[in-house]
Amino acid sequence: MKISVVMSVYNGAGTVGATIESILAQTEGDFELIVVDDGSSDATPDILASYAARDPRIRVITQANSGLTRALIRGCELAGGEIIARHDADDRSLPERFRKQLEVLRDDVVLVSCWSRVVGPGGEHLYDMRADGDEVRASLLRDDIRSIRGLTGHGTSMFRRADYVAAGGYRAPFWFAQDLDLWLRCAPRGRIVFVPEVLYEVRYEPGAISASRRGDQVALATIALELRDHPERESELLARATAIRPRRSPGSRRAAAQSLYFIASCLRTNGDVRFRRYARMALRRNPLNLRAWLILLRRVP
């Protein structure tokens, strides 16, 4: 087959079906879909088995819960296609994504992405993410943690398997920021191109990134940049990355309220009256969220 779509899922019963449907609806149908079930304990295994029984292009790999990075390493190792397309288990690809990305994956291109749309829990349009390939490549080659730019979503990426292997692939020590670490090593190898159309939808869930996880992500992203600038310190820096592991946290009502407020703010900017529902949800979790009170009192723009 031409493309190996690599996806990891953990307890994704609520969204993985719609994600797979969006992949099966691609106008470029010459692909295999490798789904690594990372130890799901909900209905995910049954959903995956049902799809695999219906379409021979789908391969389901089951493993004990080991985290996204290790699941992606395994999926990419099993990829039989010349091209690897990433996909996240709660996102959707528009039907033309694979075909249009393949069209621009020429000999001098090492990485292809596209513009993406961020949608809320109910599919509400929050905002679009756009980028230019030359600008992103320049940023990956030189910028620091304060200004580094990457793709418009990990799941938007498409690259040759040969380039992935030559760059060293995903690295297990990076529990988070595994995508940035890979892009930093791909950037010197060739051009980065974005298809200038929204071809991918990123699903934003309230509280998906807790405050503690955000700190871990920044710490690992900083190490990835140090590895770019100081390759002679690889052993030391990878040991530091290995020591950073996710901390189990129940999350906080305040963090959840902030996420809900963010959704409300995006919807209000778009003139979508559904912002009121999310603002009220934010206040139920944190009645002291003053910004949620303020947008409820203001008129819709």
* Percent residues over pLDDT 90 in the chain: 90
pLDDT for residue 209: 53
CATH architecture, domain defined by 3-240: Alpha-Beta Complex (3.90)
171-187 pLDDT, tens per residue? 999 999 999 999 999 99
Q: Nearest 5°: phi and psi at 157?
A: -80, 145
Q: Of 46, 69, 95, 214, whose CA–CA distance to 154 is shortest?
A: 69
pLDDT for residue 191: 98
pLDDT band at 204 (very low <50, low <70, confident <90, very high): very high
107-124 pLDDT, tens per residue? 999 999 999 999 999 999
The answer on pLDDT for 98 being more than 70 is: yes
Supply 93's token pair. Answer: 């690809």
Task: Break the chain into its structural domains and give their ranges.
Answer: 3-240, 253-297
Q: Of 125, 33, 150, 39, whose CA–CA distance to 81 is shortest?
A: 33
In whole angstroms, give the CA distance from residue 201 to residue 92: 5
Partners of 83 in the beta sheet? 3, 160
Mean pLDDT of 141-164: 98
Which residues have CB under 8 Å from 300's CB, separation 6+? Answer: 268, 271, 273, 275
pLDDT for residue 208: 63
In whole angstroms, give the CA distance from residue 259 to residue 262: 5
Residue 115: CB atoms within 10 A of its CB come to: 18
pTM: 0.94
Which residues have CB under 8 Å from 242's CB, separation 6+? Answer: 172, 173
pLDDT for residue 215: 87
The answer on pLDDT for 300 being more than 80 is: no
In whole angstroms, give the CA distance from residue 197 to residue 106: 18
pLDDT for residue 255: 84
